[in-house]
Structure 1
């Protein structure tokens, strides 16, 4: 009787794949910079003496951030000019007052007062309208920003959960193989430790990224909200001052409006930078969605299995080949052993047959996982333990009785064989998760969702925010100027309560 060779599964190939895979996937979330677009920019970089930044979209690169932030220079410059002009104008008025004050103001026609009042009311109304629009756009941009980040961080969490599922399966395989294969057990233990580190790394990244993104988005939201709220209060106060003709109140309103206008221009530049960043980000997502070939267009700063689908296919084909070879050899060994152990009569030779183990993978070269293609009379992997127990010949049982009962499998090989059967069963059950991880499916689905459904409304809300704050800034410059004119016109004049034109003084 020939010795039966126990089921031998080349798990080292699987584990080598797992090791390579986990290293590749760790880079997806080891840094916030998991996206990169092949599009290059040409923007002045203030960190390099305003030399042009020629790089692409890379949120790890401080020069990208500096060049993107510099796009809001029109707002920052206007804020600086307005502030300098205000300081100069204020200094001039102070010096003038110390040198004898101003000459008496002339009496203007009634139409001047009516026109100035109408212009102040008009531009105040415009300011109120656009302040309200800013509140709406600000709330919308915060909501859409959070949704976008939740989608991306959600994919990171899904990757972490999937790795944990695979890790639990590998730990289970460790338990099966520990009594029979210490080398594989030690290697599996090393891999699970590495995967544990990866899950901790992803968890830390999600926690830090969520905290940082929430802080950034809330800062933008609060800055715009506080400014608009303060501006609305000042606008209402300005209207009251105009109606009551309180001259000191005009001075206070002008000073506060000047400060708020400066802040408005700063926010205009900052919101424009936010608008540019949103456009860069969405362009990167959309570009990747349209062309996922990393050789011609790569935005994912990750290694082979995530950034190169051909490598992922090769790795998964290696897994398929491993299982396919195992099942093919097992079928051959079982059939050979059965024929040797069961010596049938000559007339029964044609009637002897044995069911084959289901091979859920196709043949070379792709070894695609397709469990539905197994023949109906094949034995499923999960059925093997029950079948094997009925075919195992007990150690002390006579060989003749085993042959008569069709028990041709030696008990001495039962334990080790069962360990490998259960290992391959776990592997096949985990294969869809491995496939998902190898192709970075959660990340790619998140990118597709952002590119197809979230980017357009996100960019629209951010652009609306910038347009409204820009319009409000221009309006505030004009309105502040009319407040100055109004103050000039009413200096030394007497008005009835809520009147528009001054009272006529007696001769």
Structure 2
């Protein structure tokens, strides 16, 4: 066995080395027989776009479907045969076994207890499963909302950058021309992501509410069926047992076994998904089927937004620094007048640090420059008071209007720079990997546990009620035989004769198909 496992792992490693562009997610866990491929072992891993994956995982639920079919057919035929014999070939019941009678009474009681336990497991499991699934959906939606909101904020900063000016100097015309289309695409992507996620959550929650209601009703009906069946058998309500409870239980047991298969299928899909997410996070550079479905791989919008945000931020900072260096920090002759000379004086205004080089790569700040976080505060001390003509009347290098323009440019530049890491994470799937890691750590264990509780509870309930049905029929027959035997013992001869027979500890009883014959035997 160890050799086989080692051989499989060797093959998997060799396959990965030989084909470095493909990685099979959850390969070991998803090795199952595929009915659609002549029962060959499925080796494609977790791939929801592959039909063979779905057929192979569906095959794990086949035993329950088979049990449901066999039960429905065999018990139905047996029930029909019993009714046919009872109606068409009636005969007087005679004799009964105390052992069979006791067993047929004890086992339904035990199976009723088992049904109660199964219903408790089922009810608890479905409640916890619905709760953890709702929490998972809420987390996914919150992450999608964060992404959509961040994209909208980026597009808002890009739109604002078009109108930012420093003394009527704007961004380059070609750069402003590309922003409209990018803002529209970014807004559309964010709105679509948010709306689709909300719609999917609503649809899934509606489906979960239906599943919850169905499971609660099923648990209640099966519990009532077990109780009523046991009590009806004990109190001899044969007609109720045969014509109502047995037929209803026959159908419900078949349906419950089918549900067992469905939830086993769901349990396996959930477990496969969790394993696949974990392996995808651990192999960030490997190519997998998720590359075709995850939004981070469709990174054209994220990449374009990242590049444009860097360009806009770079040019805005250059506008600010060029004005500070060439206008505010220079002393022009008074005769030039505004906007060159507005009576600026005093210490030079520190330049704003540009975090990007001309090729948009990161660079360090030069000594004396101020950063985004303190630029507006640092520049307040360089603002002068102005006259009605707009010139400084106190020492300073910036008028309040110039300061306002500078602050707007800084705010837009800082906003775009602040969302740069988010755009990078969106582009290279870091954001998705962190989300998957959180889901796998916080939610997957409970999802796997509670789906297992549900199908285990269904199995217990199905088996308990199925066996109860059989013993209800047996007990009903044994009880009928017992009642008939007692009636016959009491109804034979007059009172004195029965008293004499009792005193002599003898009585006569016998049964034939056509008439009653008496044979003499000792009671003790």
Question: TM-score of the superposition, structure 2-length normalised?
Answer: 0.70
Alignment of 1:24-423 (within 5 A): 38-40=25-27, 41-43=30-32, 54-59=43-48, 64-97=53-86, 99-101=88-90, 103-176=91-164, 180=170, 182-251=173-242, 252-289=244-281, 291=282, 293-295=284-286, 299=290, 301=292, 306=296, 323=313, 335=325, 354-359=348-353, 361=355, 378=370, 380-382=374-376, 422-423=408-409
CA distance in 2, matches of 1:362, 1:194: 25
CA distance in 1, matches of 2:180, 2:271: 45
Structure 1 328/202 Cα, relative in aligned 2: closer, same or farther at 3 Å?
Answer: closer
The answer to whether the aligner puts 1:426 opposite 2:412 as a matched pair is yes
Structure 1 358/292 Cα, relative in aligned 2: closer, same or farther at 3 Å?
Answer: farther
Pairwise CA RMSD: 4.5
Query: How far 1:167 sits from its partner (Å)?
Result: 2.0
CA distance in 1, matches of 2:139, 2:415: 27
CA distance in 2, matches of 1:159, 1:375: 36
CA distance in 1, matches of 2:137, 2:449: 17
CA distance in 1, matches of 2:162, 2:223: 67
CA distance in 1, matches of 2:380, 2:407: 11
Contact between 1:358 and 1:381, CA under 8 Å: does it hold in 2? yes
Unmatched 5+ residue regions in structure 1? Answer: 1-35, 344-351, 496-500
Partner SS, residue 370 of structure 2: coil
CA distance in 2, matches of 1:308, 1:185: 25
Partner SS, residue 284 of structure 2: coil
Query: How far 1:90 sits from its partner (Å)?
Result: 2.8
Partner SS, residue 26 of structure 2: strand
Structure 1 84/374 Cα, relative in aligned 2: closer, same or farther at 3 Å?
Answer: farther
Contact between 1:73 and 1:269, CA under 8 Å: does it hold in 2? yes
Query: How far 1:270 sits from its partner (Å)?
Result: 0.7
Query: How far 1:56 sits from its partner (Å)?
Result: 3.6
Contact between 1:76 and 1:269, CA under 8 Å: does it hold in 2? yes
Number of residue-to-residue matches in the alignment: 444
CA distance in 2, matches of 1:314, 1:173: 16
Query: Quick one: higher RCO (CA 8 Å, sep 6+), 1 or 2?
Result: 1
Query: How far 1:212 sits from its partner (Å)?
Result: 2.5
Query: How far 1:297 sits from its partner (Å)?
Result: 6.4
Structure 1 193/326 Cα, relative in aligned 2: closer, same or farther at 3 Å?
Answer: closer
CA distance in 2, matches of 1:308, 1:209: 20
CA distance in 1, matches of 2:45, 2:144: 24
Partner SS, residue 57 of structure 1: coil
Partner SS, residue 117 of structure 2: helix
CA distance in 1, matches of 2:144, 2:234: 58
Say which one has the larger Rg.
Answer: 2
Q: 1:467 aligns with which of 456, 469, 478?
A: 456
Structure 1 420/332 Cα, relative in aligned 2: closer, same or farther at 3 Å?
Answer: closer
Q: Which residue of structure 1 aligns with residue 472 of structure 2?
A: 483
Contact between 1:234 and 1:257, CA under 8 Å: does it hold in 2? yes
Structure 1 324/172 Cα, relative in aligned 2: closer, same or farther at 3 Å?
Answer: closer
Query: How far 1:193 sits from its partner (Å)?
Result: 1.3
